[in-house]
Structure 1
Amino acid sequence: MNIKYIKRLLFGLTLLNFTLFYSCNPQNNQTKDASINSSDEITFKYSTKNKNYVSAHRGGSGIKNYPENCIETFDYLHQKGIQIFEIDVAVTKDQNLILMHDNSLQRTSTGRQDVNQINLNQIKEYFLVDDFGQQTSYKIPTFAEALNWGKDKPIYFMVDIKKGVDYAAIVSTINQANMQNKVVLVTYSVGQAKKLNRIAPNMLLSVSMRNEREFNEMMNSGIPTDKMVAFTGTRRNDKSLFDKIHQKDILVIFGTLGNLDKSAAAKGNQLYKDLEKDGVDIFATDRALDVQQTINKN
């Protein structure tokens, strides 16, 4: 056999073994995976926060062909970098949990009934409608279907529990999906926050801290501060309130949805930069992509 051929063959085998060893080496793979996960991971502690976030109101609003509270909308926004989705969970006549903001199906789907007057199998016959009145091919998702979409993705759901929905059913569905560490339960009062903390002590809560009185109430509530994310309302606050919240290692959520989003759309997006400088960590907004393109640029 030709000696040069043998040498080339041996060199090729050596190179192949080296490549296989490197690619299969667990230490090398762990290093690569860790770098990917650390860059995408969401932290809800101010001391370890590495960037500011957007929370897409109703899962994404004002996007042509993409309805609110819709899995396809989540996917569209997630591909563009959105990692937090505020969703609304309602209950059907036959006690199934679905994503729906209004009492009635009329505004956001081809259905016309109230949610609590209709069973899930009939709801699944309807199609979602975008914010411009355009019917889509997308269906109304169940809460479980939304949670399943979020698995293995670096995302969080802000879960707004609509009137009449059983807290235990919400928590049970989250536990069944093994998504306890991927949700924030939205609360509007100290009493509601305490109740949800008793039912789900390991889950994060969005709690109201719109002023110093509410801040002090939450600090005296007995709820661990490491389970709190502070919703500071939809009106601009003095930076000193944000500073107090940050001193407790709690993140600040501020709602630009409504008038502030409209003002920013009319006058440019400088408002979002100003709020970021004030100390807003999470923007709850109807203009998710506009805010996403504006923040974290300083």
Structure 2
Amino acid sequence: MHRKQLIMKPFYIFLLILLPVISNAQKAESNSNYLSFPTPNALHEYFKYHENAKPIIQGHRGTVENELPENSIAAFEYVLEHTEAIFEIDPRLTRDSVIVVFHDETLERTTNGKGKLIDYTWEELQQFNLKDDKGNPTKYKIPSLSEVLEWGRGKTAFILDKKNVPLHLTANIIREKNAESFTIPLVRSVEEASFYYEDNNARMFSISLRSTQEFQNYLDLGISPSQMFIAAGTTIKNERQELYDTISEYKVRYLIASASSYDKLETQSKRAEAYRNIIRNGASMIESNYPIEVAHALAGLPD
């Protein structure tokens, strides 16, 4: 018996050393900014609008902060180290029909390659490196949509913009990757919305529109207000107040996309005030090239 206790003693010592490590790991996980959406209904609940709804930050192609390239997994991960966020990304087809995440039709602006992306196979594209927004090459490569979706599971949600990928191929890869609960198509027409709604009537929608009548057209299609949010333009416009009011009456969030507008203000303080004004005006979502800046700006809003 005494010998058995002597044999087991090191095991107990090991446990005593390991327990704080386990505890810290659990604590780190509870403090993370990851978002998990196990079902489409969980995604609907996250976007649910109410008067004191927490603003949602949408990284435009991830971020360009910290000299990271847009539409890269490294950019997504960096944002989530600092704030809870979702991401708008850009699926595009290669010559051999691999769907990659890349905004431009051509390679020059964001990689050290040349020519049209569609002229290259997936394997050929791996010879190039992504650039940051100053034009400096980085160590990062163009990711495939499959890689991005696998990485993002249990961490965030993605809004898929429409580039040159046919709708049915986008729907297929979402289904193949079992990503229905954390991917959201961005649609700009009732026809696009109709395709995705018929494919899966439980999915979430990001709908780009500019008028109350357009909004009504999507409701007439059968899409519930609980499964949509509205991309309502790049600036706050007085002439769209009726649209903003109608959207809010239906308990639907609307987003202002600041990448081409307020993000271009010359100082961080001016940008911060513009982001806060977006929320004060009634929007509850902001898309930005600087999602971490947005998070810091909104943290200063009064309760």
- Taking structure 1 as the reference length, the TM-score comes to 0.81
CA offset digits 1:225-269 (Å, max 9, x no partner):
222111111131345533321222211111112122223737352
Aligned to 2:235: 235
- Compared with structure 1, are the counterparts of its residues 39 and 143 closer, same or farther at alpha carbon in structure 2 (3 Å cutoff)? closer
- SS of the residue aligned with 1:90? strand
Aligned to 1:76: 78
Aligned to 2:47: 44
Query: How many Å apart are 1:152 and its aligned residue?
Result: 2.0
Query: How many Å apart are 1:177 and its aligned residue?
Result: 2.1
Identity of aligned residues (%): 27
Measure the CA separation in 2 of the matches of 1:176 and 1:39: 23
Within-5 A mapping of 1:51-90: 51-61=54-64, 63-90=65-92
- 1:107 aligned partner, one-letter code: R
Q: Structure 1 unaligned runs (5+)? A: 1-15, 24-31
Aligned to 2:158: 157
Aligned partners of 2:275 and 2:294 also within 8 Å: yes
Query: How many Å apart are 1:105 and its aligned residue?
Result: 1.4
CA offset digits 1:182-234 (Å, max 9, x no partner):
11111112221122222232221111232222222222232222221111111
Query: How many Å apart are 1:132 and its aligned residue?
Result: 0.5
Look at both structures and tell me which one has the larger radius of gyration over its CA atoms. Answer: 1
Query: How many Å apart are 1:75 and its aligned residue?
Result: 0.7
Query: Mean alpha-carbon deviation: is it higher for 97-106 or for 230-239?
Result: 230-239
Aligned to 1:174: 174
Aligned length: 270
Query: How many Å apart are 1:50 and its aligned residue?
Result: 4.3
Query: How many Å apart are 1:289 and its aligned residue?
Result: 1.6
Aligned pair partner of 2:272 in 269, 274, 278: 269
Aligned partners of 2:86 and 2:157 also within 8 Å: yes
- Taking structure 2 as the reference length, the TM-score comes to 0.80
- SS of the residue aligned with 1:203? coil
Aligned to 2:187: 187
Aligned partners of 2:35 and 2:154 also within 8 Å: no
- 1:67 aligned partner, one-letter code: P
Aligned partners of 2:58 and 2:291 also within 8 Å: yes
- Compared with structure 1, are the counterparts of its residues 134 and 83 closer, same or farther at alpha carbon in structure 2 (3 Å cutoff)? same
Measure the CA separation in 1 of the matches of 2:286 and 2:260: 12
- Compared with structure 1, are the counterparts of its residues 270 and 70 closer, same or farther at alpha carbon in structure 2 (3 Å cutoff)? same
Query: How many Å apart are 1:81 and its aligned residue?
Result: 0.8
- Compared with structure 1, are the counterparts of its residues 36 and 243 closer, same or farther at alpha carbon in structure 2 (3 Å cutoff)? farther
Backbone CA RMSD of aligned residues: 3.0
- Compared with structure 1, are the counterparts of its residues 36 and 105 closer, same or farther at alpha carbon in structure 2 (3 Å cutoff)? same
Aligned pair partner of 1:250 in 252, 255, 268: 252
Aligned partners of 1:59 and 1:73 also within 8 Å: yes
Measure the CA separation in 2 of the matches of 1:107 and 1:262: 18
- Compared with structure 1, are the counterparts of its residues 78 and 37 closer, same or farther at alpha carbon in structure 2 (3 Å cutoff)? closer
CA offset digits 1:122-157 (Å, max 9, x no partner):
01121111111111111110000001111122x111
Within-5 A mapping of 1:202-217: 202-217=202-217
